[in-house]
Amino acid sequence: MNKSTITKFLNYFKYEQLQTICKESELDFGGRKAELIELIIHSSKEDINVILGKIELEFLQEYCSKYDIPVRKSKVQVQSEIKKKLSSLDSVSKLQKKAKRTKLNKAKIFEE
């Protein structure tokens, strides 16, 4: 999963929730929201499984309810549903980038 998708996911959470994740991960929890997100991503080596494991179930369920993802009772099931959603967003993002590159390449051909 690309860093951009993970960053968008973490941006959903409130500053205080991100601070809690950092505290529990024994990371520095001062600084701006963007800095906390970078710390979480970097400390997790951009592994969405590690990041999801650090977030409390109630926060994950709240995220699911906001984005029409089935809300489950167990953390493992909730994590699985969120990973599916993020993977589909990641795929769409990759397709959009590819389409943009293709458009640019076609434009260059016509310019020559």
pLDDT in tens, 61-103: 998 898 888 888 888 899 999 888 888 877 777 777 777 777 6
pTM of the model: 0.65
Structure token pair of residue 8:
């968008």
How far apart are the C-alpha atoms of 22 and 54, rounded to whole Å? 9
How far apart are the C-alpha atoms of 101 and 97, rounded to whole Å? 6
Structure token pair of residue 89:
């967003």
| Other beta carbons less than 10 A from residue 98's beta carbon | 10
CB 18 within 8 A of CB 40: yes
Please tell me the predicted confidence (pLDDT) of residue 86: 86
Structure token pair of residue 69:
């993802």
